[in-house]
Amino acid sequence: MTLKWGTPDDSATGVKALLCREYGEPDVLALEEIDSRSPGPGELRMRVRACGVNFPDILMIRGQYQIKPDFPFAPGCEVAGEVLEIGSDVSGFTAGDRIVGVPGFGGMQEEIVVRAERCLPIPKSMDFDVAAVFSLTYGTSYHALVDRARLRCGETVLVLGAAGGVGSAAVDIAQQLGARVIAAGGSDQKLAQLAKFYGVEETLNYSLEGSELRNRVKSMTQGRGADVIFDPIGGDAFQQVLRCVNWNGRILVIGFAADSEHLPKAPTNLLLLKGSALIGVFWGRFTEEEPERSYDNFKQLFSWYEAGELEPHISHRFPLERGGAALTALIDREVVGKCVVLL
C-alpha cells in the first residue's frame, strides 16, 4: 500500500520535521523544514507537542511495514498537541483544543494534518507526553482485555512482553479490572522496574525459563493455568502458553514481536483439550469498524486516568532532533513502558 497523504513538499520551509528519504536504520533520519499545509474537508491541522514512539515506526523506515508512505516522510503514528485550524465538514473541534491524533505516520514534525475522525480531545489533567503514548497501547490493551477476552475480576492474566508499551498498558488495565497479573518478559532488570512502578508481585523471565515457562505458570496457578494470556510476542513463548492456559481460557494474539516473518502455529488439539479460545486482536481495524464503541472505550480509559487509577510509564524522552535516538532506544530494548519525542 502506498499513501500520499501528509507527504512533505521538498521546496518547503517553516515547519521542522524529522524526515526519512531512504529505507534504513534510524541514522537515515534527518531534521529538515517543510511547509505548513492547510486542512482539507474532514481534516484538521494540529501543532504537535509530543509524538509516541512505536515498533511500527521502525518497520516503516526499514520498508518492512504494510504501510509504505512516499518519500520523504516523517515516522510517528500517534501524536498529541493543539488544534490550529479545522477544515470544512469538521465538527466537535475548535482552534486551541488539546487533542490526541493517530495519523499513522508523520508525527515527528511540528505540525501535521490529520483526519478529524482519528482525533480525540484529551483530559485537562493529561500532559501532552502522556497523551502521545496513550492511544495505541491503552486502546489496544483495553480492547483486548475487555472487548475480546472479557476479563473478569479475580481471574489470572499472563502478560507477555510486560515491560513493553502494549504489555505495560495491559498490566495497568488488568490491575484496574481486579485481575491477578503475572508479568512475563525477557529481562530481569526491566521486569524489576515494571514491578516497582506498578506494584506487580509475580514476574517471569521467559528468556531464562525457556521450555519451563509453561510449568512455572502452572506452578504459580496451582496447576490450573492462566485464564487469559496476553501475547504480543509470538515465537517460542506462544507455543509454551498454549500449554498453560486454564479451562475455558482465552489466548489473545496481539502481535509477533519475536519473529514477524515466521508466524507460530497452534495445534488445534490443545485448544480442544482446554476448551480454550485463540482470539485475534486488531485494534486499528476495530476503530474503523466500530468507531462509537472505540470512543466509549476511551471515555472509560480517560475517566480512569483522571481518577488516578491508570499511570502510563514513560522511561525515555527525546527532543525532535534526537528522534532517531528514540527509535534506537526501542530497537536496543532499553525502553520500559513507552518512549516519547517532545517537540
Burial class (CB in 10 A: 0-12, 13-18, 19+), 75: buried
Cα–Cα distances (Å) from 201 to 151, 198, 208, 228, 234, in that order, read: 19, 9, 18, 18, 24
Cell reading at 60: 516503516
What does the pLDDT look like over 121-143, one tens digit per residue? 999 999 999 999 999 999 999 99
Location of each CATH 3.40.50.720 domain in the chain: 136-284
Fold of the CATH domain 2-134+313-342: Quinone Oxidoreductase; Chain A, domain 1 (3.90.180)
Cell reading at 101: 491524533
In sign, the C-alpha dihedral spanning 291, 292, 296, 297 is negative
Give the mean pLDDT of 321-340: 95
Q: What is the pTM of this model?
A: 0.91
Cell reading at 152: 473478569
What does the pLDDT look like over 144-174, one tens digit per residue? 999 999 999 999 999 999 999 999 999 999 9
So what's the architecture of 136-284 in CATH?
Answer: 3-Layer(aba) Sandwich (3.40)
Is 77 in contact with 55 (CB distance < 8 Å)?
A: no
